[in-house]
Structure 1
Amino acid sequence: MNVYPIPAFSDNYIWLIEKESQVIVVDPGESEGVLKHLKENELTLQAILLTHKHDDHVAGVSDVLDKYPQTPIYGPIETQSLTNHTVEEGDSFELMGETFQVFKTAGHTEEHISYLMGDNLFCGDALFSGGCGRVFTGDYEAQYDALQKFNTLDDKVQVFAAHEYTQTNLRFALSVESPNQTLSQALAEADKMRADNEPTLPSTIGKEKQINLFLKAKALDTFIDLRKARDEF
């Protein structure tokens, strides 16, 4: 099993889950890079997983389907115009011999979901390294509740978030908590990885529990204040 990203737009990652020349694509916001990769590597597309409705996560679906029209597509109810398998909190399904568990992680959008495959978390825009998604719904409690779900996961779970926001998130964290050696070291590591054109993801739940102020927030009011401050950072 190999999980790796195809970069898209300025900072998106389209995650591919590959096993024995079969592949699952997570949140294809664009199609060109995905289709090129599948063709060049002679991979068989098994499914598409969607976490939420935003265009930078779903806009490539139609073009991929033009090439692979029988592809199963899983996603929340807010993406039902694109999917043939609508899933929700508590659902599970199998693909390529792996079990995917679904849980609702709303706040960024009304019906945002995340997928847990073994020790691999595909969380779209609900959780980033050092941060979380903007609460476009205005439902801060839903986003806070989603973070509490992530907090219950095992520390070794890998976090495959959908955007390369790590450096900005850590700079924000240091503006709130400084000096903080753990945050400073994490930012230095992220800076080096990006200078080498390497993704800072995946992170792990254990690491995020140390560096992610949103995940560490002990109360809803604290989270709201942090999120609003990050919006203006």
Structure 2
Amino acid sequence: MHFTAVRALTDNYVWLARCGAEGPILIVDPGVAEPVLAELAPAEVPTAILLTHHHPDHIGGVAELRACFPDLRVIGPHDPRIPATERVSPGEHIEIDDCRFEVLELSAHTLSHIGFFGHGALLCGDALFSLGCGRLFEGSPDDLHRVMQTIRQLPPATQVYCAHEYTQANARFALAVEPDNASLRAYVDQVAQLRAQEQATIPTTLQRELDCNPFLRADEPQVAATIDAHFGSPSANAVERLGRLRAWKDHYV
């Protein structure tokens, strides 16, 4: 499976997944239609749209794409805010010709957020970013903890396709949390070089995030100590610690 990053809006990525030369073409979280249509070759007809959650910058292009391609399947979670033609639940598997994905429960950023895992790739919307994660607009620290644990269980070689180019901004916070992390510092340098050339930092790998992303490392002793020191008291448990980390990031300048 080959993924193409389509830049959209300010910092969004819409992912085009091509399943072989003659296989289906999938569109992931199209916030707008125009750049997707521009990326498709004249003879290419997409098969399906995969939607992770209801925010407009992820679903705003669906109507226009369906107007261009009336047979387009739109697969998303059980949420009336999402214009899906097919609803899926966590634990289910979807098959689109030779493409097969497991639906993951990633509800924290929003309460109906899902992800799609298959072919060595995680399509995670705003659940996880490189060196960060989505704000808790609807979910709780308990939800965030569960999501991080779900992601941690995936194979380390998993390619992570999130929906925003936030890596360089996230890096500043990650360094504040764990300044002595050599892997993080090396990655931050790599990110700076990529962004200086206006290149994407996504996809990342789960192994890199396990090594560098504070939201996947909140239970590491040094990270935990830094969080507790910032708030001036010990965290009651892992959930509170992760919630504190998210709150710190929300107000970090």
Query: Which interval holds the TM-score relative to the shorter structure?
Result: over 0.9
Unaligned runs of 5+ in 2: 220-237
Aligned-partner residue type, residue 205 of structure 1: L
2:25 is equivalent to residue 6 of structure 1: no
AA of the residue aligned to 1:23: I
1:81 & 1:229 partners in 2: Cα distance? 30
Q: Which has the larger radius of gyration?
A: 2
Is 2:231 aligned against 1:231? no
- 2:159 and 2:97 map into 1 onto residues whose CA distance is 19
SS at match of 1:78: coil
Matched with 1:35 is: 37
Q: Distance in 2 between matches of 1:206 and 1:41?
A: 37
Given that 1:23 and 1:45 are in contact with CA atoms closer than 8 Å, whether structure 2 keeps it comes out as yes
User: What is the CA deviation profile of residues 173-220 of structure 1, one whole-angstrom value per residue up to 9, with x for unaligned ones?
Assistant: 111222332211111100111111111011111111000110112311
Displacement of 1:64 in angstroms is 0.4
Deviating runs (4+, > 4 A) in structure 1?
Answer: none
Report the 3-state secondary structure (helix = DSSP H, G, I; strand = E; otherwise coil) of the residue aligned with 1:123: strand
Structure 1 Cα separation of the partners of residues 42 and 2 of structure 2: 14
Provide, for residues 153-177 of structure 1, a one-character-per-residue CA deviation record: whole Å limited to 9, x for no partner: 0000100000111111111011122
Show the counterpart of 2:233. none
Matched, 1:84 2:85: yes
What residue is the counterpart of 2:151 in the other structure? 150
Deviates more, 1:4-13 or 1:17-26: 17-26
CA distance in 1, matches of 2:132, 2:28: 20
- 1:23-62 equivalences under 5 Å are 23-38=25-40, 40-62=41-63
Q: Does 1:222 align with 2:223?
A: no
In 1, Cα distance between the equivalents of 2:139 and 2:105? 16
Map of 1:158-197 to 2, 5 A cutoff? 158-197=159-198
Q: Which whole-Å CA distance do the structure 1 matches of 2:80 and 2:15 have between them?
A: 18
Find the aligned partners of 1:63 and 1:114 in 2 and give their Cα distance.
23
Q: CA deviation at 1:118?
A: 2.1
Q: Return the alpha-carbon distance in structure 2 between the equivalents of residues 11 and 75 of structure 1.
A: 22
Moved more, 98-107 or 170-179: 170-179
Tell me the equivalent position of 1:132. 133
Q: How many residues were matched structurally?
A: 232
Post-superposition Cα deviations, 1:14-41, rounded to whole Å, max 9, x if no partner, equal: 0010132541000000000011222x35
Q: Which residue of 2 aligns with 1:15?
A: 15
Measured in 1, the distance between the counterparts of 2:105 and 2:196 equals 35
**Which amino acid counterpart does residue 101 of structure 2 have in structure 1?**
F
Question: Taking structure 2 as the reference length, what is the TM-score of the superposition?
Answer: 0.88
Q: Structure 1 residues 196 and 96, CA, compared in 2 at 3 Å: closer, same or farther? A: farther
**In 2, Cα distance between the equivalents of 1:226 and 1:167?**
18
Q: One-letter code of the match for 1:58? A: I
CA shift, 1:77, in A, is 1.2
Deviation per CA, 1:5-64: give whole Å up to 9, x if none: 1001111000010132541000000000011222x3532201000000000000000000
Q: Is the 8 A contact 1:5 1:13 kept in 2?
A: yes
Check whether the contact 1:102–1:114 (CA below 8 A) recurs between aligned residues: yes
Contact in 2 for aligned 1:80/1:86 (Cα 8 Å):
no
Q: Are the counterparts in 2 of residues 75 and 87 from structure 1 also a CA contact under 8 Å?
A: yes
User: TM-score with structure 1 length normalisation?
Assistant: 0.96
Give structure 1 stretches of 5+ with no counterpart.
none
Contact conserved, 2:54 with 2:81, CA < 8 A, in 1? no
